[in-house]
Chain A
Amino acid sequence: MVEIPSGSAGAIPSAEVEDVELYHPKSWWTKYVFSQDAKIIAVQYSVTAISIGLVALVLSWLMRLQLAFPGYFAFIDADHYYQFITMHGMIMVIYLLTALFLGGFGNYLIPLMVGARDMVFPYANMLSYWIYLLAVLILAAGFFAPGGPTGAGWTLYPPQAVLSGTPGGKDWGILLMLTSLIVFIIGFTMGGLNYVVTVLQGRARGMTLMRMPLTVWGIFTATVMALLAFPALFVACVMMLFDRLLGTSFFMPAIVEMGEQLQHGGGSPILFQHLFWFFGHPEVYIVALPAFGIVSDLISTHARKNIFGYRMMVWAIVIIGALSFIVWAHHMYVSGMNPAFGFFFATTTLIIAIPTAIKVYNWVLTLWRGDIHLTLPMLFALAFIVTFVNGGLTGLFLGNVVVDVPLSDTMFVVAHFHMVMGVAPILVIFGAIYHWYPKVTGRMLNETLGQIHFWTTFLGTYAIFFPMHYLGLLGVPRRYFEMGETAFVPPSAHTLNIFITVMALIVGAAQMVFLFNLVWSLFRGREAGGNPWRATTLEWQTPQTPPAHGNWGKELPVVYRWAYDYSVPGAAEDFIPQTVPASGGVTREVPA
């Protein structure tokens, strides 16, 4: 046990835990495959998520080819098109973004950043990954099943999701999708409990909650939200499975399908929408909050300046997390629910803009009077701010109930959510990978390849999604297999569609450069050393890089200061790691 230094050093003891005896792997299998080490599990999660994400990337190419050149590619018919958009959306939101932020970054960073040896329940943590892999395999099985995957749209709205007018509705597609989601949620719950309990109970001495890096705050809050939100999706999936397999009518009213009366009655399709969005809106922030946290740390480290307004940043994360549970029906303004709901949900939705705006201000104010190093992580962070501000502001259109009426279900919505919860979080993921890859592998990613990847991705995605808003404003609906001849759509709109598709192909190709860089640098990258960015947080202070099993060698670290002591006046270096005992009066959690 490490003694807590007393006196002015003032490390406040937090949740105290005995140093634990870890499970020690006995064979290659238990070390690298059925591993209980959060760092290995993190890499497994990340590789799986990126692999299935590549499938989603290819699907996006195919749907863009159809939109730009309708009828030109014979193998893309309406069935396939709707299957592509459905699988693209679901994979990106759940199986890539959620899994990568929480399962990938959460597993790697939480124990290292709070000074734990591992997650508190390593065995459940291992199970979490394998169940996630099973969910991915069930999902992917849809591509090979009779009738193909479901084409119900990622929102899976009944009744069409389980009827024959939708691809996979009466075949395997929808069954596999619902089963995969149920399995995913089971796996996630095992991992999620781990992340929460580790943050609450596994912190090193001195690591008070208000000394935690914002990355941990973001992932922690997102995980709490996910544990509360996913059950709504879980029951919705179970009920829809019952409707489809057992003939129940949870979501099924009386229906005449293609002239034939079905044996359903009394159910409510709109009930599904409430359950789906009760999960679905928090889900947006489940993806966004880890990104908020991580980008705060990237900006602070690479601008060599403390994050501006740390306490406000923490509270903003917590408030956004809480508010996100009472805004769900802003996805349903034109769903036919009682229109009086519009007043309430528009108000809550626009209120959430205030803590979100505070976060943006604090990021740019961190740059103010900083010492900005334009490293790859910093470039991605800057790109994130531009993209997120753009996507966040268009959210004010869609959240303001009456403005949403003409824009709902158009390409404006598609452009908005890709900016705000597609591209913006992914830019953070890239920045985070360039930032932490040296810790994970001991080597730096190649800078030149990184620059190519950055500029193509940032400018390319902006060129795709910024003009797309204007197609929506024009009135082009989303989820249209082909626009056909429509009087109010001028031919120039089609030219724009071709431009967007070309940009999408280019951006997709740039991701191949990134993948090549990941593999190439593993063997040829420059040696990184333990702390290449001269960062303050605990994960950069490990005795070995990459960190060994148990993370900290013989003794757990002790934390003496907050995570943002950059450029402290009078200090010799422009950073003071959290493990350096206080001197010169820098002892408080957040220095005044």
Chain B
Amino acid sequence: MAVVLILVMIVVGSVLFHVLSPWWWTPIASNWNYIDSTLVITFWITGIVFVAVVSFMAYCVFRFRHRPGNRAAYEPENRRLEVLLAGGTAVGVAAMLAPGLVVWNQFITVPDDAVPVEVVSQQWLWSFRLPGADGKLGRAETRDVSPDNPLGLNKNDASGLDDVIIEGGELHLPIGKPVRILLRSVDVLHDFYVPEFRAKMDMIPGMITYFWFTPTRTGSFEILCAELCGIGHAQMRGTVVVDEAADYQTWLGQQQTFTQLMASSGEPPPAN
């Protein structure tokens, strides 16, 4: 009997914990509330299945526990029941998968008007690059990284000269404008993760990865590294600030371009 009681307590306790727990996702600050909705659908479907299976099990243990003289039934198969259960499961799975794939399609389809923003990671620091007046990011290579060119920009690529470089500082983004986050690492794997944006993506040396979102709430949010990158992994933090348009322009005006950065570090100007 203790077993039955405890099984029932696990069901009730788990549901209560879910409802009453103070630990839930952080308030969202991006357009990805679709992701949150899919997550809630999944919670409902899986929650119902969990409660049903464990409760049924508790009932079986109560009803069919051994007592002297009992004998089990003999029923090797029940084709109809088995097909029914498999079919029902397939429906439940489809109900989770279908919205999931629809939202995934949105997640990987970057809108045309998304502004590129580059995030560059190294052990254990975040840097950022924004396109200058030309709206384009210049080419960059890990091979070109040096102390006075920390992000490895190609000095011969004119479109990179006006790029705004923020080394180890805060990233600011304007509210309501979709951004295409381009991710680049110069050493090991990292992962750009801001819980409030819901999205995250690994950064891989030798490759450029991406995701997109639209900031929907102003404020200051913490960037965490979500892919183990060595002993400084937990300390690899940064800040992204979502601003109103005017505040954003003010901030942008205070940042250094690649040309200014090279001038301040005493580099000779590029050949062309």
Complex Cα distance, B81 from A306, in Å, reads 16
Complex Cα distance, B231 from A479, in Å, reads 10
What's the nearest-Cβ distance from chain A to residue B250, in Å? 24
Asked whether, in the complex, the Cβ of B235 is within 8 Å of the Cβ of A382, the reply is no
Using a CB-CB cutoff of 8 Å, which residues 174-197 of chain B contact chain A? 183, 186-189, 191, 193, 195-196
A20 at the A/B interface (Cβ < 8 Å)?
no
B115 at the A/B interface (Cβ < 8 Å)?
no
Asked whether, in the complex, the Cβ of A269 is within 8 Å of the Cβ of B206, the reply is yes
- Beta-carbon contacts of B25-61 to A below 8 Å, as 1s and 0s? 1100000101100110010011001100110110011
- Beta-carbon contacts of B81-92 to A below 8 Å, as 1s and 0s? 110011001100
Asked whether, in the complex, the Cβ of A256 is within 8 Å of the Cβ of B187, the reply is yes
B113 at the A/B interface (Cβ < 8 Å)?
no
Asked whether, in the complex, the Cβ of B108 is within 8 Å of the Cβ of A342, the reply is yes
B136 at the A/B interface (Cβ < 8 Å)?
no
Asked whether, in the complex, the Cβ of B65 is within 8 Å of the Cβ of A372, the reply is yes
Q: Smallest CB-CB separation from B90: which chain A residue?
A: A354
Complex Cα distance, B237 from A481, in Å, reads 13
Chain A neighbourhood of B78, CB < 8 A: 308-309, 365
Asked whether, in the complex, the Cβ of A466 is within 8 Å of the Cβ of B17, the reply is yes
Chain B neighbourhood of A555, CB < 8 A: none
Most buried by B among A79, A340, A374: A374
Asked whether, in the complex, the Cβ of A259 is within 8 Å of the Cβ of B207, the reply is no
Once A159-B187, A406-B195 are accepted as A-B contacts, the answer to whether A305 and B6 lie under 8 Å apart by CB is no
Give the contact stretch, choosing among B99-107, B161-169, B251-259, B260-268: B99-107
Q: Smallest CB-CB separation from B108: which chain A residue?
A: A339
A183 at the A/B interface (Cβ < 8 Å)?
no
Q: Smallest CB-CB separation from A564: which chain B residue?
A: B76
What's the nearest-Cβ distance from chain B to residue A3, in Å? 29
Complex Cα distance, B6 from A453, in Å, reads 16
Chain A neighbourhood of B35, CB < 8 A: 402-403, 405-406
A480 at the A/B interface (Cβ < 8 Å)?
yes
Chain A neighbourhood of B272, CB < 8 A: none
A188 at the A/B interface (Cβ < 8 Å)?
no
Number of interface residues of B (CB under 8 A): 97
Number of interface residues of A (CB under 8 A): 117
Asked whether, in the complex, the Cβ of A257 is within 8 Å of the Cβ of B7, the reply is no
Complex Cα distance, B102 from A347, in Å, reads 12
Asked whether, in the complex, the Cβ of B54 is within 8 Å of the Cβ of A567, the reply is no
Complex Cα distance, B10 from A70, in Å, reads 31
Once A368-B64, A409-B193, A493-B23 are accepted as A-B contacts, the answer to whether A567 and B206 lie under 8 Å apart by CB is no
Asked whether, in the complex, the Cβ of A394 is within 8 Å of the Cβ of B46, the reply is yes
Contact of A403 among B7, B100, B143 (CB under 8 A): B100
Contact of B204 among A258, A336, A400, A569 (CB under 8 A): A336
Contact of A574 among B7, B71, B100 (CB under 8 A): B71
Chain A neighbourhood of B66, CB < 8 A: 304, 371-374
Asked whether, in the complex, the Cβ of B74 is within 8 Å of the Cβ of A569, the reply is yes
B77 at the A/B interface (Cβ < 8 Å)?
yes
Asked whether, in the complex, the Cβ of A379 is within 8 Å of the Cβ of B3, the reply is yes
Asked whether, in the complex, the Cβ of B25 is within 8 Å of the Cβ of A473, the reply is yes
What's the nearest-Cβ distance from chain B to residue A365, in Å? 8
**Lowest 4 A-B CB distances belong to which pairs?**
A253-B206, A165-B230, A475-B195, A336-B209
- 5 A-B contact pairs sorted by A residue (CB < 8 Å): A163-B188, A258-B187, A305-B73, A362-B82, A409-B200
Which residues from chain B sit less than 8 Å from chain A, CB to CB?
3, 6-7, 10, 14, 17, 21-26, 32, 34-35, 38-39, 42, 45-46, 49-50, 53-54, 56-57, 60-61, 64-66, 70-78, 81-82, 85-86, 89-90, 93, 96-97, 100-101, 103-105, 107-108, 122-123, 141-143, 145, 147, 152, 183, 186-189, 191, 193, 195-196, 198-207, 209, 222, 224-235
Given contacts A481-B231, A564-B76, 8 further A-B contacts (CB under 8 A): A165-B123, A254-B205, A255-B188, A256-B186, A310-B76, A370-B64, A386-B54, A403-B42
